[in-house]
Structure 1
Amino acid sequence: MEGRLHTGIDVLDRKLDGGLPPGCVVAYTAAPASQSELLLYELTAARGTLYISTERSDQSIRHAVDSSMARVGTPTVRRIDSQNPLEEATRLIGALPEGANLIVDPMDPLERTDREAYVDFLNALKDRMLETRSIAILHCLKADDQPANRSTTEHVADAVFNLQTRVGATELENFLTIPKYRHGGAPTETIKLQLSERVEIDTSRDIA
Protein backbone atom coordinates (compact mmCIF):
# COMPACT_ATOMS: atom_id res chain seq x y z
CA MET A 1 0.00 0.00 0.00
CA GLU A 2 1.30 3.44 -0.96
CA GLY A 3 2.86 5.47 1.83
CA ARG A 4 3.69 2.54 4.07
CA LEU A 5 7.20 1.90 5.36
CA HIS A 6 8.73 -1.50 4.73
CA THR A 7 9.72 -3.32 7.90
CA GLY A 8 12.56 -5.11 6.12
CA ILE A 9 10.99 -8.46 7.01
CA ASP A 10 9.36 -9.88 3.90
CA VAL A 11 6.78 -12.03 5.70
CA LEU A 12 5.51 -9.04 7.71
CA ASP A 13 5.46 -6.67 4.74
CA ARG A 14 3.37 -9.13 2.73
CA LYS A 15 0.90 -9.62 5.56
CA LEU A 16 0.63 -5.87 6.26
CA ASP A 17 -0.01 -4.74 2.66
CA GLY A 18 3.51 -3.44 2.21
CA GLY A 19 4.52 -2.43 5.71
CA LEU A 20 3.55 -0.14 8.58
CA PRO A 21 2.15 3.40 8.31
CA PRO A 22 4.52 6.21 9.32
CA GLY A 23 3.98 7.11 12.96
CA CYS A 24 2.95 3.59 13.96
CA VAL A 25 3.75 2.36 17.48
CA VAL A 26 3.90 -1.43 17.90
CA ALA A 27 3.87 -3.40 21.15
CA TYR A 28 5.73 -6.63 20.40
CA THR A 29 5.03 -9.22 23.11
CA ALA A 30 7.11 -12.37 23.51
CA ALA A 31 8.55 -14.72 26.11
CA PRO A 32 12.06 -13.95 27.39
CA ALA A 33 13.22 -17.45 26.40
CA SER A 34 12.33 -17.06 22.73
CA GLN A 35 13.99 -15.95 19.53
CA SER A 36 11.98 -12.71 19.52
CA GLU A 37 15.12 -10.57 19.28
CA LEU A 38 15.81 -11.95 15.80
CA LEU A 39 12.85 -9.96 14.49
CA LEU A 40 14.20 -6.81 16.17
CA TYR A 41 17.59 -7.25 14.53
CA GLU A 42 16.08 -7.70 11.07
CA LEU A 43 14.05 -4.52 11.46
CA THR A 44 17.31 -2.55 11.45
CA ALA A 45 17.93 -3.41 7.79
CA ALA A 46 15.07 -1.28 6.48
CA ARG A 47 16.28 2.17 7.60
CA GLY A 48 18.29 4.04 10.18
CA THR A 49 17.47 2.70 13.64
CA LEU A 50 17.83 3.96 17.19
CA TYR A 51 18.04 0.86 19.40
CA ILE A 52 17.43 1.71 23.07
CA SER A 53 18.46 -1.06 25.44
CA THR A 54 17.16 -1.00 29.01
CA GLU A 55 19.03 -4.08 30.20
CA ARG A 56 21.84 -5.39 27.98
CA SER A 57 24.93 -3.31 27.31
CA ASP A 58 25.24 -1.46 24.02
CA GLN A 59 28.29 -3.57 23.19
CA SER A 60 26.25 -6.76 23.68
CA ILE A 61 23.51 -5.49 21.36
CA ARG A 62 25.98 -4.47 18.66
CA HIS A 63 27.72 -7.84 18.84
CA ALA A 64 24.40 -9.69 18.54
CA VAL A 65 23.34 -7.64 15.51
CA ASP A 66 26.73 -7.96 13.82
CA SER A 67 26.77 -11.72 14.46
CA SER A 68 23.30 -12.29 13.03
CA MET A 69 23.05 -14.42 9.90
CA ALA A 70 20.05 -12.37 8.77
CA ARG A 71 20.08 -9.14 6.76
CA VAL A 72 20.59 -6.36 9.30
CA GLY A 73 21.59 -2.72 9.40
CA THR A 74 23.94 -0.69 11.58
CA PRO A 75 21.71 0.70 14.33
CA THR A 76 22.70 3.40 16.76
CA VAL A 77 22.60 1.60 20.12
CA ARG A 78 22.14 3.39 23.43
CA ARG A 79 21.74 1.85 26.86
CA ILE A 80 19.72 3.88 29.34
CA ASP A 81 20.23 4.08 33.10
CA SER A 82 17.47 2.33 35.01
CA GLN A 83 17.50 5.15 37.60
CA ASN A 84 15.73 7.60 35.24
CA PRO A 85 14.51 5.51 32.30
CA LEU A 86 11.66 7.77 31.16
CA GLU A 87 13.80 10.89 31.23
CA GLU A 88 16.68 9.27 29.35
CA ALA A 89 14.42 7.62 26.78
CA THR A 90 12.60 10.92 26.15
CA ARG A 91 15.90 12.70 25.55
CA LEU A 92 17.08 10.08 23.06
CA ILE A 93 13.77 9.93 21.21
CA GLY A 94 13.78 13.73 20.93
CA ALA A 95 16.82 13.49 18.67
CA LEU A 96 15.29 10.82 16.39
CA PRO A 97 15.75 11.80 12.71
CA GLU A 98 13.10 11.76 10.01
CA GLY A 99 11.89 8.38 8.76
CA ALA A 100 13.70 6.20 11.29
CA ASN A 101 13.04 3.08 13.33
CA LEU A 102 12.92 3.17 17.11
CA ILE A 103 13.37 -0.05 19.07
CA VAL A 104 13.04 -0.21 22.86
CA ASP A 105 14.26 -3.53 24.25
CA PRO A 106 12.69 -4.37 26.62
CA MET A 107 9.98 -2.01 27.82
CA ASP A 108 9.70 -3.53 31.29
CA PRO A 109 11.81 -0.96 33.23
CA LEU A 110 9.82 1.87 31.65
CA GLU A 111 6.52 0.13 32.38
CA ARG A 112 7.41 -0.10 36.09
CA THR A 113 7.48 3.68 36.53
CA ASP A 114 4.73 5.95 37.81
CA ARG A 115 1.60 5.46 35.69
CA GLU A 116 0.85 9.14 35.05
CA ALA A 117 4.45 9.82 34.02
CA TYR A 118 4.41 6.71 31.84
CA VAL A 119 1.20 7.73 30.05
CA ASP A 120 2.76 11.13 29.34
CA PHE A 121 5.83 9.36 27.96
CA LEU A 122 3.78 7.14 25.63
CA ASN A 123 1.80 10.10 24.29
CA ALA A 124 4.99 12.07 23.68
CA LEU A 125 6.48 9.01 21.96
CA LYS A 126 3.48 8.73 19.65
CA ASP A 127 3.64 12.44 18.83
CA ARG A 128 7.33 12.13 18.00
CA MET A 129 6.71 9.15 15.71
CA LEU A 130 4.10 11.17 13.82
CA GLU A 131 6.36 14.23 13.60
CA THR A 132 9.27 12.26 12.17
CA ARG A 133 7.16 9.73 10.20
CA SER A 134 8.99 6.96 12.01
CA ILE A 135 8.08 3.53 13.42
CA ALA A 136 8.45 2.41 17.05
CA ILE A 137 8.73 -1.23 18.13
CA LEU A 138 8.35 -1.73 21.89
CA HIS A 139 9.63 -5.14 22.99
CA CYS A 140 7.38 -6.30 25.85
CA LEU A 141 8.48 -9.44 27.66
CA LYS A 142 5.82 -11.80 28.99
CA ALA A 143 6.14 -12.86 32.61
CA ASP A 144 4.04 -13.90 35.58
CA ASP A 145 4.97 -10.63 37.31
CA GLN A 146 4.52 -8.40 34.27
CA PRO A 147 4.75 -4.63 34.88
CA ALA A 148 1.65 -2.85 36.11
CA ASN A 149 1.65 -0.56 33.07
CA ARG A 150 1.74 -3.35 30.45
CA SER A 151 -1.97 -2.97 29.67
CA THR A 152 -1.35 0.77 29.14
CA THR A 153 1.35 0.00 26.60
CA GLU A 154 -0.94 -2.33 24.67
CA HIS A 155 -3.83 0.14 24.80
CA VAL A 156 -1.85 3.13 23.54
CA ALA A 157 0.01 1.13 20.86
CA ASP A 158 -1.42 1.20 17.35
CA ALA A 159 -0.63 -2.48 16.87
CA VAL A 160 0.14 -5.51 19.00
CA PHE A 161 2.34 -8.28 17.63
CA ASN A 162 2.20 -11.39 19.79
CA LEU A 163 4.86 -14.09 19.43
CA GLN A 164 4.06 -17.46 20.99
CA THR A 165 6.64 -20.19 21.31
CA ARG A 166 5.55 -23.79 21.74
CA VAL A 167 8.01 -26.46 22.78
CA GLY A 168 6.96 -29.90 21.51
CA ALA A 169 8.44 -33.34 21.94
CA THR A 170 10.51 -33.10 18.77
CA GLU A 171 10.42 -29.46 17.65
CA LEU A 172 10.04 -25.85 18.70
CA GLU A 173 7.32 -23.84 16.97
CA ASN A 174 6.78 -20.07 16.78
CA PHE A 175 3.46 -18.41 15.97
CA LEU A 176 2.90 -14.70 15.33
CA THR A 177 -0.54 -13.14 15.69
CA ILE A 178 -1.62 -9.51 15.29
CA PRO A 179 -4.66 -9.16 17.58
CA LYS A 180 -4.68 -5.36 17.31
CA TYR A 181 -4.06 -3.11 14.32
CA ARG A 182 -5.69 0.32 14.22
CA HIS A 183 -4.85 0.92 10.58
CA GLY A 184 -7.07 -1.87 9.26
CA GLY A 185 -6.27 -4.85 7.07
CA ALA A 186 -4.62 -6.87 9.82
CA PRO A 187 -4.04 -10.53 9.02
CA THR A 188 -6.62 -12.67 10.80
CA GLU A 189 -4.68 -15.92 10.55
CA THR A 190 -1.85 -17.14 12.75
CA ILE A 191 1.54 -16.87 11.03
CA LYS A 192 3.84 -19.79 11.71
CA LEU A 193 7.43 -18.59 11.73
CA GLN A 194 10.77 -20.28 11.52
CA LEU A 195 13.18 -18.38 13.75
CA SER A 196 16.65 -19.78 13.32
CA GLU A 197 19.06 -17.73 11.22
CA ARG A 198 16.39 -15.29 10.05
CA VAL A 199 12.63 -14.66 10.18
CA GLU A 200 10.84 -16.86 7.63
CA ILE A 201 7.45 -18.48 7.20
CA ASP A 202 7.51 -22.08 8.41
CA THR A 203 5.94 -24.20 5.68
CA SER A 204 6.91 -27.55 7.17
CA ARG A 205 3.28 -28.36 7.90
CA ASP A 206 -0.11 -26.74 8.13
CA ILE A 207 -1.06 -24.81 11.25
CA ALA A 208 -3.28 -26.86 13.48
Structure 2
Amino acid sequence: MAERLPTGIDVLDRELDGGFPAGSVVAYQDPPASQGELLLYELSIPRPTYYLTADRTESAVADAFESSAVPANAPELTFLPEGAPLDTGRRAFRNVPEGSTLIIDPADALERTERSRYQTFLSELQNHMRNTNSVAILHCLKSDHSPELRDTTEHMADVVIDLRQTVTASDVETRISIPKLRGGRALSETIKLNLGDRVRIDTSRDIA
Protein backbone atom coordinates (compact mmCIF):
# COMPACT_ATOMS: atom_id res chain seq x y z
CA MET A 1 0.00 0.00 0.00
CA ALA A 2 1.22 3.50 -0.81
CA GLU A 3 2.26 5.71 2.11
CA ARG A 4 -0.71 7.45 3.71
CA LEU A 5 -0.86 11.00 5.08
CA PRO A 6 -3.37 11.33 7.97
CA THR A 7 -6.21 13.80 7.50
CA GLY A 8 -6.42 14.60 11.22
CA ILE A 9 -9.97 13.18 11.43
CA ASP A 10 -9.84 9.70 12.96
CA VAL A 11 -12.93 8.16 11.36
CA LEU A 12 -12.03 9.55 7.95
CA ASP A 13 -8.49 8.18 8.28
CA ARG A 14 -9.91 4.78 9.14
CA GLU A 15 -12.17 4.83 6.10
CA LEU A 16 -9.23 5.89 3.89
CA ASP A 17 -6.91 3.16 5.22
CA GLY A 18 -4.78 5.71 7.02
CA GLY A 19 -5.38 8.94 5.11
CA PHE A 20 -4.68 10.44 1.69
CA PRO A 21 -2.15 8.64 -0.51
CA ALA A 22 1.12 10.61 -0.29
CA GLY A 23 1.53 12.89 -3.29
CA SER A 24 -2.20 13.39 -3.85
CA VAL A 25 -3.97 16.42 -5.23
CA VAL A 26 -7.39 16.63 -3.55
CA ALA A 27 -10.40 18.52 -4.92
CA TYR A 28 -12.62 19.44 -1.96
CA GLN A 29 -16.03 20.79 -3.00
CA ASP A 30 -18.52 22.49 -0.68
CA PRO A 31 -21.30 25.12 -0.82
CA PRO A 32 -20.15 28.68 -0.02
CA ALA A 33 -22.81 29.08 2.68
CA SER A 34 -21.80 25.93 4.56
CA GLN A 35 -19.38 25.58 7.48
CA GLY A 36 -17.25 23.42 5.20
CA GLU A 37 -14.29 25.76 5.61
CA LEU A 38 -13.78 24.11 9.00
CA LEU A 39 -12.57 21.00 7.22
CA LEU A 40 -9.67 22.98 5.75
CA TYR A 41 -8.61 23.97 9.26
CA GLU A 42 -8.78 20.35 10.44
CA LEU A 43 -6.68 19.19 7.48
CA SER A 44 -3.93 21.59 8.53
CA ILE A 45 -3.39 19.87 11.90
CA PRO A 46 -1.17 16.88 10.99
CA ARG A 47 1.57 18.67 9.00
CA PRO A 48 3.13 22.07 8.30
CA THR A 49 0.64 23.91 6.08
CA TYR A 50 1.13 26.39 3.24
CA TYR A 51 -2.05 28.33 2.49
CA LEU A 52 -2.58 30.13 -0.84
CA THR A 53 -5.54 32.49 -0.57
CA ALA A 54 -7.21 33.88 -3.68
CA ASP A 55 -10.10 35.80 -2.10
CA ARG A 56 -9.28 36.86 1.46
CA THR A 57 -6.17 38.72 2.51
CA GLU A 58 -3.40 36.95 4.39
CA SER A 59 -4.36 38.80 7.58
CA ALA A 60 -8.00 37.73 7.25
CA VAL A 61 -6.99 34.07 6.89
CA ALA A 62 -4.55 34.37 9.81
CA ASP A 63 -7.34 35.86 11.97
CA ALA A 64 -9.69 33.02 10.98
CA PHE A 65 -7.15 30.40 12.00
CA GLU A 66 -6.41 32.20 15.25
CA SER A 67 -10.07 32.52 16.21
CA SER A 68 -10.89 28.95 15.19
CA ALA A 69 -11.29 26.26 17.86
CA VAL A 70 -9.18 23.94 15.71
CA PRO A 71 -5.72 23.48 17.31
CA ALA A 72 -3.87 23.96 14.04
CA ASN A 73 -0.42 25.36 13.55
CA ALA A 74 -0.43 28.81 11.95
CA PRO A 75 0.04 28.25 8.20
CA GLU A 76 2.45 30.10 5.95
CA LEU A 77 0.26 32.41 3.86
CA THR A 78 0.54 33.63 0.27
CA PHE A 79 -1.96 35.82 -1.58
CA LEU A 80 -2.79 34.88 -5.17
CA PRO A 81 -3.40 38.13 -7.12
CA GLU A 82 -6.26 38.19 -9.58
CA GLY A 83 -4.03 39.04 -12.54
CA ALA A 84 -1.55 36.17 -12.19
CA PRO A 85 -2.85 33.41 -9.89
CA LEU A 86 -1.16 30.58 -11.80
CA ASP A 87 2.28 32.19 -11.86
CA THR A 88 2.15 33.16 -8.18
CA GLY A 89 0.74 29.77 -7.23
CA ARG A 90 3.46 27.94 -9.14
CA ARG A 91 6.23 29.89 -7.42
CA ALA A 92 4.60 29.23 -4.05
CA PHE A 93 4.07 25.48 -4.36
CA ARG A 94 7.61 24.92 -5.63
CA ASN A 95 8.79 26.04 -2.17
CA VAL A 96 6.62 23.53 -0.31
CA PRO A 97 9.00 21.16 1.52
CA GLU A 98 8.84 17.43 2.22
CA GLY A 99 5.80 16.13 4.10
CA SER A 100 3.60 19.23 3.97
CA THR A 101 0.01 20.22 3.27
CA LEU A 102 -0.76 22.85 0.62
CA ILE A 103 -4.19 24.49 0.59
CA ILE A 104 -5.45 26.64 -2.30
CA ASP A 105 -8.56 28.55 -1.23
CA PRO A 106 -10.51 28.85 -3.36
CA ALA A 107 -9.34 27.20 -6.54
CA ASP A 108 -12.03 29.04 -8.50
CA ALA A 109 -9.64 31.83 -9.54
CA LEU A 110 -7.32 29.27 -11.11
CA GLU A 111 -10.24 27.55 -12.84
CA ARG A 112 -11.07 30.77 -14.66
CA THR A 113 -7.76 30.84 -16.52
CA GLU A 114 -6.88 29.32 -19.90
CA ARG A 115 -7.41 25.53 -20.00
CA SER A 116 -3.99 24.42 -21.28
CA ARG A 117 -2.15 26.65 -18.78
CA TYR A 118 -4.30 25.36 -15.94
CA GLN A 119 -3.69 21.74 -16.98
CA THR A 120 0.05 22.42 -16.98
CA PHE A 121 -0.23 24.00 -13.52
CA LEU A 122 -2.05 20.94 -12.15
CA SER A 123 0.47 18.54 -13.71
CA GLU A 124 3.39 20.44 -12.17
CA LEU A 125 1.54 20.58 -8.83
CA GLN A 126 1.01 16.81 -8.88
CA ASN A 127 4.67 16.20 -9.68
CA HIS A 128 5.82 18.39 -6.80
CA MET A 129 3.42 16.75 -4.34
CA ARG A 130 4.67 13.29 -5.36
CA ASN A 131 8.32 14.31 -5.21
CA THR A 132 7.88 15.71 -1.69
CA ASN A 133 5.36 13.17 -0.31
CA SER A 134 2.98 16.05 0.39
CA VAL A 135 -0.71 16.65 -0.26
CA ALA A 136 -2.47 19.57 -1.99
CA ILE A 137 -6.08 20.54 -1.20
CA LEU A 138 -7.92 22.57 -3.84
CA HIS A 139 -10.95 24.19 -2.20
CA CYS A 140 -13.62 24.31 -4.92
CA LEU A 141 -16.80 26.27 -4.16
CA LYS A 142 -20.00 24.68 -5.46
CA SER A 143 -22.62 26.95 -6.98
CA ASP A 144 -24.86 27.35 -10.01
CA HIS A 145 -22.02 29.31 -11.62
CA SER A 146 -19.02 27.05 -11.04
CA PRO A 147 -15.99 27.88 -13.23
CA GLU A 148 -15.78 26.32 -16.67
CA LEU A 149 -12.62 24.39 -15.75
CA ARG A 150 -14.13 22.63 -12.71
CA ASP A 151 -14.33 19.45 -14.82
CA THR A 152 -10.57 19.72 -15.41
CA THR A 153 -9.96 19.91 -11.66
CA GLU A 154 -12.15 16.87 -11.01
CA HIS A 155 -10.54 14.88 -13.82
CA MET A 156 -6.93 15.58 -12.84
CA ALA A 157 -7.40 15.38 -9.05
CA ASP A 158 -6.35 12.15 -7.36
CA VAL A 159 -9.06 12.47 -4.69
CA VAL A 160 -12.47 14.17 -4.84
CA ILE A 161 -14.29 15.04 -1.60
CA ASP A 162 -17.84 16.34 -1.93
CA LEU A 163 -19.68 18.02 0.96
CA ARG A 164 -23.46 18.33 0.73
CA GLN A 165 -25.99 19.92 3.06
CA THR A 166 -29.71 19.24 3.35
CA VAL A 167 -31.66 21.94 5.17
CA THR A 168 -35.11 21.22 6.61
CA ALA A 169 -37.35 23.14 9.00
CA SER A 170 -35.81 21.33 11.97
CA ASP A 171 -32.35 20.21 10.93
CA VAL A 172 -29.24 20.85 8.85
CA GLU A 173 -27.68 17.57 7.75
CA THR A 174 -24.12 17.59 6.41
CA ARG A 175 -22.52 14.63 4.66
CA ILE A 176 -19.31 14.08 2.74
CA SER A 177 -18.68 11.54 0.03
CA ILE A 178 -15.42 10.52 -1.60
CA PRO A 179 -16.39 9.29 -5.08
CA LYS A 180 -12.82 9.27 -6.42
CA LEU A 181 -9.63 7.96 -4.83
CA ARG A 182 -6.65 7.02 -6.94
CA GLY A 183 -4.37 4.60 -5.12
CA GLY A 184 -7.18 3.26 -2.95
CA ARG A 185 -10.88 2.49 -2.85
CA ALA A 186 -13.50 5.21 -3.07
CA LEU A 187 -16.01 5.19 -0.22
CA SER A 188 -19.23 3.35 -0.95
CA GLU A 189 -21.15 5.28 1.74
CA THR A 190 -21.35 8.88 2.88
CA ILE A 191 -20.07 10.11 6.24
CA LYS A 192 -22.31 12.32 8.35
CA LEU A 193 -20.66 15.34 9.96
CA ASN A 194 -21.49 17.74 12.75
CA LEU A 195 -20.07 21.16 11.92
CA GLY A 196 -19.92 23.42 14.95
CA ASP A 197 -16.71 24.86 16.28
CA ARG A 198 -14.93 21.70 15.08
CA VAL A 199 -15.55 19.00 12.48
CA ARG A 200 -16.96 15.97 14.27
CA ILE A 201 -18.24 12.72 12.87
CA ASP A 202 -21.89 11.96 13.68
CA THR A 203 -21.70 8.39 14.98
CA SER A 204 -25.42 8.06 15.68
CA ARG A 205 -25.94 6.54 12.24
CA ASP A 206 -23.92 4.84 9.49
CA ILE A 207 -20.51 4.96 11.21
CA ALA A 208 -19.74 2.74 14.18
TM-score (norm 1): 0.95
1:70 Cα deviation (Å)?
A: 2.2
* Structure 2 residue aligned with 1:45: 45
Q: How many residues align?
A: 207
Secondary structure of the residue that 2:26 maps to in structure 1?
Answer: strand
* Structure 2 residue aligned with 1:32: 32
Secondary structure of the residue that 1:183 maps to in structure 2?
Answer: coil
1:193 paired with 2:193, answer yes
How is 1:1-16 mapped onto 2 (pairs within 5 angstroms)? 3-16=3-16
Q: Quote the Cα distance in structure 1 between the aligned partners of 2:2 and 2:131.
A: 19
Contact 2:110 2:118 in 1 (8 A): yes
1:201 Cα deviation (Å)?
A: 1.1
1:150 paired with 2:153, answer no
Contact 1:175 1:190 in 2 (8 A): yes
* Structure 2 residue aligned with 1:122: 122
Contact 2:191 2:206 in 1 (8 A): no
Moved more, 13-22 or 3-12: 3-12
Q: Quote the Cα distance in structure 1 between the aligned partners of 2:142 and 2:123.
A: 23
1:205 Cα deviation (Å)?
A: 4.9
How is 1:31-180 mapped onto 2 (pairs within 5 angstroms)? 31-180=31-180
Q: Quote the Cα distance in structure 2 between the aligned partners of 1:99 and 1:206.
A: 32
Moved more, 119-128 or 6-15: 6-15
Q: Quote the Cα distance in structure 2 between the aligned partners of 1:178 and 1:143.
A: 19
TM-score (norm 2): 0.95
Q: Quote the Cα distance in structure 1 between the aligned partners of 2:154 and 2:200.
A: 25
Q: Quote the Cα distance in structure 1 between the aligned partners of 2:177 and 2:47.
A: 24
1:185 Cα deviation (Å)?
A: 2.4
Q: Quote the Cα distance in structure 1 between the aligned partners of 2:31 and 2:185.
A: 26
- Distance verdict in 2 for CA 1:73–1:154, change over 3 Å: same
Contact 2:2 2:183 in 1 (8 A): no
Q: Which runs of 5+ in 1 are unaligned?
A: none
Q: Quote the Cα distance in structure 1 between the aligned partners of 2:9 and 2:103.
A: 15
Q: Quote the Cα distance in structure 1 between the aligned partners of 2:51 and 2:152.
A: 22
The two structures, once aligned, show a CA RMSD in angstroms of 1.4
Moved more, 47-56 or 62-71: 62-71
Moved more, 88-97 or 63-72: 63-72
Q: Deviations over 1:129-152 (max 9, x none)?
A: 011110011000011111110000
Contact 2:2 2:21 in 1 (8 A): no
Q: Quote the Cα distance in structure 2 between the aligned partners of 1:124 and 1:2.
A: 21
Contact 2:115 2:149 in 1 (8 A): yes
Q: Quote the Cα distance in structure 1 between the aligned partners of 2:140 and 2:107.
A: 5
1:27 Cα deviation (Å)?
A: 0.4
Contact 1:193 1:201 in 2 (8 A): yes
Q: Which runs of 5+ in 2 are unaligned?
A: none
- Distance verdict in 2 for CA 1:206–1:128, change over 3 Å: closer
Contact 2:5 2:21 in 1 (8 A): yes
